[in-house]
């Protein structure tokens, strides 16, 4: 029987999604709980990997196992065994579902803030900017990224992707004032993403917001390399918010 899970985790103390030697990962942690529940080793497949330190609200994964426990109750079985920084938010029967191949759209959110010094209460899930960016300039630059493009320049080396052509459906920039600080959110929705793509893209948008201009983005698309782009933003500001499917085993998620 195939089951699908929606998983949320605080990435701070994980070396990312993918199982690896001598490091605590989300996949290994979930597989450890699964082995206890199903009494046999169970492989858990994620919709995609997240890097060390990246957080997730709606990572989707699937597994094949046999159990008499009703699918919706698997959530509780996992949560009784998992450490506090990872939780199964939903579980469902998912015959014929493939969380990786079936993924149609993913939404990532990048969080940052501008303040005169680090704010301890913001540092876990966002990154401080050295200057206050101009969000109108960021929004104009974001428009250049929307659509189907070869995002080869927005990809860290080490990627094994066959093609670097990807489609972004939307790139939204929000600013919110909170006391003496300004908080920023870049929401990126796309059909798929290359390695470090959102963190590179966010770094460039913040650079544009701080006066860099959009020539770097145009040059990056033209040259297909990262030379004209700014820095990769730190992992802790990144959240995998949701993964969407044509036929989700969970029904529609409320927003």
| Alpha-carbon gap, residue 207 to 205, rounded angstroms | 5
Give the residue among 171, 240, 239 at the shortest CA–CA distance from 206: 171
Q: Which of residues 181 and 201 has its CB atom nearest to its own copies in the complex?
A: 181
For the record, the structure tokens of 206 come out as: 């913040």
Q: How far is the CB of 210 from its own copies (least distance, A)?
A: 21
B/e letters for 135-153, b = 16+ CB within 10 Å, e = fewer, are bebbbebbebbbeebebbb
Q: How far is the CB of 87 from its own copies (least distance, A)?
A: 5
By CB under 8 A, name the binding residues for its own copies. 8-10, 55, 57-58, 75-76, 79, 84-90, 115-121, 123-125, 177, 179-180, 239, 242, 253-255
Q: How far is the CB of 74 from its own copies (least distance, A)?
A: 12
Under the phi-then-psi rule, with left for phi > 0, alpha for psi from -120 to 50, and beta for the rest, what region is 130? alpha
Q: Which of residues 75 and 106 has its CB atom nearest to its own copies in the complex?
A: 75
13 is catalytic: no
For the record, the structure tokens of 216 come out as: 């770097």
Q: How far is the CB of 19 from its own copies (least distance, A)?
A: 19
Q: Which of residues 55 and 62 has its CB atom nearest to its own copies in the complex?
A: 55
Q: How far is the CB of 9 from its own copies (least distance, A)?
A: 6
Q: Which of residues 94 and 239 has its CB atom nearest to its own copies in the complex?
A: 239
Q: What are phi and psi of 185, to 5 degrees?
A: -135, 130
The DSSP-derived string for 158-188 is T---S--EEEEEEEEEEEEEETTEEEEEEEE
Q: Which of residues 80 and 218 has its CB atom nearest to its own copies in the complex?
A: 80
Exposed / middle / buried, residue 195 (Cβ in 10 Å: 0-12, 13-18, 19+): middle
The one catalytic residue among 10, 51, 85, 98: 51
């Amino acid at each position: 029987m195939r089951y699908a899970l929606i998983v949320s985790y605080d990435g701070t103390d994980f070396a990312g999604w993918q199982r690896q030697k001598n490091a605590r990962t989300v996949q290994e942690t979930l597989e450890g709980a699964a082995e206890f529940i199903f009494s046999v080793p169970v492989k858990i497949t994620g919709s995609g990997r997240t890097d060390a330190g990246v957080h997730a609200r709606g990572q989707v994964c699937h597994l094949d196992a046999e159990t008499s426990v009703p699918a919706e109750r698997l959530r509780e079985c996992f949560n009784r065994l998992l450490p506090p920084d990872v939780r199964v938010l939903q579980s469902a029967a998912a015959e014929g579902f493939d969380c990786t191949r079936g993924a149609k759209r993913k939404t990532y959110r990048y969080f940052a803030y501008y303040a005169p010094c680090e704010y301890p209460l913001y540092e876990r899930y966002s990154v401080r900017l050295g200057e206050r960016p101009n969000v109108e300039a960021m929004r104009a630059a974001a428009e250049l990224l929307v659509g189907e493009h070869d995002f080869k320049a927005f990809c860290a080396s080490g990627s094994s992707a066959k093609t670097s052509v990807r489609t972004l459906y939307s790139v939204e920039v929000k600013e919110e004032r909170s006391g003496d600080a300004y908080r920023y959110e870049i929401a990126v929705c796309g059909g798929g993403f290359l390695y470090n793509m959102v963190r590179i893209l966010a770094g460039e948008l913040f650079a544009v917001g701080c006066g860099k201009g959009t020539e770097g983005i145009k040059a990056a698309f033209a040259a297909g390399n990262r030379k004209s782009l700014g820095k990769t933003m730190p992992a802790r500001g990144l959240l995998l918010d949701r993964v969407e499917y044509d036929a989700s085993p969970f029904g529609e998620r409320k927003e």
